[in-house]
Structure 1
Amino acid sequence: MEVELIRLTKRYGGTVAVDGIDLKVRSGAYCCLLGPSGCGKTTTLRMIGGHETVSSGDVVIGPRAVGDAAPSERGTAMMFQSYALFPHLDCRDNVAFSLKMRGVGKAERRARALAMLDLVQMAHLAERMPAQLSGGQQQRVALARALVTGPKVLLLDEPLSALDPFLRVRMRTELKRIQAELGLTFIHVTHSQEEAMALSDLVVVMNGGRIEQAADPRTVFERPATAFVARFIGGHNVIRLPDAGEIAVRADRMRLGPEAGAEAVPARVVSIEYQGTSVHVGLEADGLGGREPAALTAIIDDGAYAARPLALGQTVPLGWDEAAAHRLSA
């Protein structure tokens, strides 16, 4: 189901949490709302699901505007960050609970709940209580519970944030598999750049209640629209040139030493971090960041660095290919 936000705004007294945003998410897409805490992404998600009132603008799901509709009338389901499983019900009854509230008969709702648990690979633990489950298993049960009512749009509020890094990667794979298998529209809030890049077809970078950029992950990474996007996504240097405004250059496309080229500037090495396949070199360069020295990073292949290592405090030529520079909007 397609989701469209039209001049969507949320105010809390004199504070504007979401500031007149426009967004279209195509049917069957995996969309991630990405940004720092307080940027408006969770408020936006809650307005889509009807868990937060809209101050102005509208939410359109499929063919109709639903800005004033109850959550149960929107064709959406919400998976909350806390999972919020009922501690006194086993997995199957947790998943079946919303069907019970809708008057579905016991046999049917238990069968549908078991089918959803099977989809998330938890059918073998259907009779376990939530306290007997790991965090990852609880997350799967919460996902099954959100899906059992047959929503057209699934809303996920930081669903992976409570998991350890290894399990987080596994669950990313599972979310993508389930989304593709069911063909649903997923709208997923996260503050993790890596998570958004790995999961989404559409990345929506938010800042201060507004959308800074909405595009596919490769476009956002290769061609960040603004300095905020370049810095938040990571892997870029934002460089202020005296005559040409701000540009972004990927850290892995910076050149050090003899390869820096004729337009090289001197830069001081302030940090060296070994990352296995690469070495991240922190640098400071005058004249590239306004009044203060620019803090920059160059990512160098491990083999190239081993052949020509650097030392803290060393001054080296720093440059980049003109083709590697991407001009940023104001």
Structure 2
Amino acid sequence: MARPADLELASVTKRYGGTVAVDSISLKIKAGTYCCLLGPSGCGKSSTLRMIAGHESVSDGDIVLGNQIVNDKPPAQRGSAMMFQSYALFPHLSVRDNVAFSLRMKGIDKPTRHKRADEMLALVDMTPYAERLPAQLSGGQQQRVALARALVTDPQILLLDEPLSALDPFLKIRVRAELKRFQRELGISFIHVTHSQEEAMALADLVVIMSHGRIEQAGAPRAIFETPASEFVARFIGGHNILPIFGKTVSVRADRVSLVPQDDAPGGRRAIVRSTEYQGSNVVVGLVAEDGTELVAIVPDKVFFARPVEVGDATAVTWDEADIHEFAA
């Protein structure tokens, strides 16, 4: 396999006419990192990925892979490989020939490219399907073939554009575990674009949250969840209540909010229950406080059913002062 390499984006900008899609972002991704670019539609994450791949030109700034600026290199010479959302498999080619296609385009002889393709198919547990056509595979199997095809070029970095979006919920969980395993075994960086907070939290060593072409926050998943840098990050990640305390806008995690009888918590906020949603191990309770602030409490099922509440009930909400998080920005 190729030697893993660091990736750096240095004040990278992408303009489409008068529209700035990516606005002077700077980011360092160490070799061997699973990085997720996360954000809503139109935030610039896919444009960033395509600039790294070489499928979009850089309007300003530099993309540095290892010790080389790769802005002007074509995709095939960058040391990166792209796995597309649609998989883009050739319907008339066998699984083996799909995986070997880029090697064929480089003029590599048939025995050599088939040997390399078979090695990649073994890696993704698809050896028994080498002679099949893509239409004879399930969605998860097609995804594995697309992954093998990307890896056959021996990239230093693998780029993944919404790779799990076409899969059903149960298969997504299984395939994302496989992606993480492949990344660890290969030792190269995976840079994975997604709009799913759950996906990013489950997979990434480094989560990069983007909004309006800029990086709002970059860090380990736990750090981002526990200490969101801004109101946008807290709202986008979810699981946080945004509310005014001491004249400031702060956040309190939903799983740190407790429901108590009003008479038992004179210092608690009075609230009315708006919704309850049973989720097995937890019950998600939606509330509205007296001042109109909407709140969510995630209550362990045992605690909830010891003193259940229903829609329309009056209650009080409390939390520890230590669980109040003030935004850095």
**Which TM-score bucket, shorter chain as reference?**
over 0.9
Q: Say which of 287, 298, 301 aligns to 1:283.
A: 287
| Runs of 4+ residues over 2 Å off in structure 1 | 258-263
Runs of 5+ unmatched residues, structure 1 = 288-292
Q: Say which of 171, 190, 194 aligns to 1:190.
A: 194
1: CA distance, partners of 2:128 / 2:91:
19
State the 1:329 CA deviation.
3.0
SS of 1:45 mapped into structure 2: helix
SS of 1:22 mapped into structure 2: strand
Counterpart residue number, 1:148: 152
2: CA distance, partners of 1:162 / 1:194:
16
State the 1:313 CA deviation.
1.5
Write the deviation string for residues 61-99 of structure 1: whole angstroms up to 9, x where unpaired: 110111121111110000000000001100000000000
SS of 1:163 mapped into structure 2: coil
State the 1:261 CA deviation.
4.6
Q: Residues 11-50 of structure 1 correspond to what in structure 2 (within 5 A)?
A: 11-50=15-54
Overall identity of the aligned pairs, in %: 62
Determine if the alignment matches structure 1 residue 98 to structure 2 residue 102.
yes
State the 1:60 CA deviation.
0.6
2: CA distance, partners of 1:8 / 1:262:
53
The alignment covers a number of residue pairs equal to: 324
Give RMSD over aligned pairs. Answer: 1.2
Amino acid paired to 2:160: L
SS of 2:97 mapped into structure 1: helix
Q: Residues 38-187 of structure 1 correspond to what in structure 2 (within 5 A)?
A: 38-187=42-191
Determine if the alignment matches structure 1 residue 251 to structure 2 residue 254.
yes
Determine if the alignment matches structure 1 residue 274 to structure 2 residue 290.
no
Q: Say which of 214, 235, 243 aligns to 1:210.
A: 214
Runs of 5+ unmatched residues, structure 2 = none
State the 1:296 CA deviation.
1.0
Aligned partners of 1:261 and 1:320 also within 8 Å: no
SS of 2:215 mapped into structure 1: strand
Determine if the alignment matches structure 1 residue 305 to structure 2 residue 301.
no
State the 1:264 CA deviation.
1.1
State the 1:286 CA deviation.
3.7
Determine if the alignment matches structure 1 residue 324 to structure 2 residue 319.
no
2: CA distance, partners of 1:103 / 1:153:
23
Determine if the alignment matches structure 1 residue 294 to structure 2 residue 293.
yes
2: CA distance, partners of 1:263 / 1:178:
51
Aligned partners of 1:281 and 1:300 also within 8 Å: yes
Amino acid paired to 1:67: N
2: CA distance, partners of 1:261 / 1:54:
57
SS of 2:198 mapped into structure 1: helix
